[in-house]
Each structure stands twice: as structure tokens, then as C-alpha cells.
Amino acid sequence: MYCLTSCSSTTRWEGYYHFYPDVLSYFVFLYHTERRPSPEGKADFQSSEKLHAFSRTLARMTVEKPSEPAVRRSGYLQWDLKHSARRNINYFHRSSWLTILQPGDYLVVSRVTFSRRDPRTPLASSVKLRRGGEEAGETAAKGEETEAMRAYCSLAGSSSDPQMCTASQGEVMTLGRGAQLSVWVEDLSLVDYTHTATTFGVYKL
């Protein structure tokens, strides 16, 4: 299992692909390097074949801006289907959860940007996981919610200039059919709801 968690206190990254290509390339390289056939009588995978197979099942979700100002409470982010893309992964509007339809290894990445700070609340985001029935086993009952990843970022309190920070994380997970994933934050009112600033991705390797 590979894990990469990155927290930054810089201005908001512009463009959805400013961050994800580097992360995706890193994990795809590691994943396929471990599974590459030996050089004895077997050819390496072609790059085009890797990328084609990698892109068959995916979800690229962008945050949905609340119709009213977000209240100060913890909760799950909602995703804007008009600015998102999905293939072979279900998402029911207002449910907050992506549902896996095909079992396998998935790269799961999230990026949550915060536009302001609260001294009483950490700027944190988590990827929550609900296992499907066939993979629940002894560690978790079917539908039981667990925290798969968590990331933090911080904002300096002394500067008067507008600031933002981004909590980013990524990990390869083995998921069964029916597994569900969602993004949870400590305070919904602190999130930057710009489409390119707060995103969630699930990619089958």
C-alpha cells in the first residue's frame, strides 16, 4: 500500500490538473512497476495501454457550492455533477458517497482548500470509507464507517492578507463491490467551494 499526504499553506492552486497529474503518475508508476512482467521473454507494458486501462473506471468530482452560506458544523462535502466526471462509479446526489461497482485496486485522492481559519477548529479533511459486504470481514461490519485518510493544513493568524491552505492526500486502496467513499471536514463554513480548489478523485488501477 502506498500513501502520500501533503498539506500546504500556499495560495489556492489554480486548475484541477495542477495537482493530480503528479500524484497520479507517481502511483501509476509504482503500481505497474511492481506488476511488470520479468524481462525474460515478456515485453513491458506500453504506456498507452497503461493509461487506457487506468482510465476505464474513475470519478473526478468537484465540490458543490451550497445554495446558502455553509453553517458552522462538521459534515460531508457534496459534489457538483455538472462539473464532475464518472465512469463505472455511482454517486447519488445529496448522498455524499461514491459507490464502487468493480472490485480492485483504486487510487483515491482528495484536495480540500480552506479560505479562512477558526482558532477553535483544526483545518482538517478526512476520506471516510464504508466497506462492501464481501470485504467487511472481521475488521469492520458491512456499512460501518471508518477513516481511511486524514490531512491537515494551517493558516497564519497574524497576516492581514487573504490566505488559503490546502489539505491534500492520496492512497492506493483495495476496494470491493459496494464499498463507499466520501470526504468529511471539521467545519463546512471554512471550506473554499471553488470548483478547482476542492476536489475528490477515485481511479481504478
d(CA 161, CA 96): 33
Q: Which residue has the cell 464502487?
A: 100
Confidence at residue 133, expressed as pLDDT on a 0 to 100 scale: 62
40-74 confidence digits (pLDDT tens): 444 454 555 555 544 589 999 999 998 887 778 89
Name the residue among 178, 167, 125 with its Cα closest to residue 148.
Answer: 125
203 vs 18, more confident: 203
pTM: 0.72
Q: Which residue has the cell 503518475?
A: 25
d(CA 119, CA 133): 40
- Provide the β-strand partners of residue 59: 86, 202
State mean pLDDT over 5-13. 39
122-181 confidence digits (pLDDT tens): 899 999 999 876 554 444 455 689 999 999 999 876 555 568 999 999 999 999 999 999
d(CA 111, CA 4): 12
What pLDDT band is residue 7 in, cutting at 50, 70 and 90?
Answer: very low
Confidence at residue 89, expressed as pLDDT on a 0 to 100 scale: 96
d(CA 4, CA 85): 23
d(CA 76, CA 133): 23
Confidence at residue 181, expressed as pLDDT on a 0 to 100 scale: 97
183 burial type by CB count under 10 A (0-12 exposed, 13-18 middle, 19+ buried) = buried
Q: List own/partner pairs for 155-158 with CB under 8 A and 24 or more apart.
A: 155/9, 155/114, 155/116, 155/117, 155/123, 156/9, 157/117, 157/119
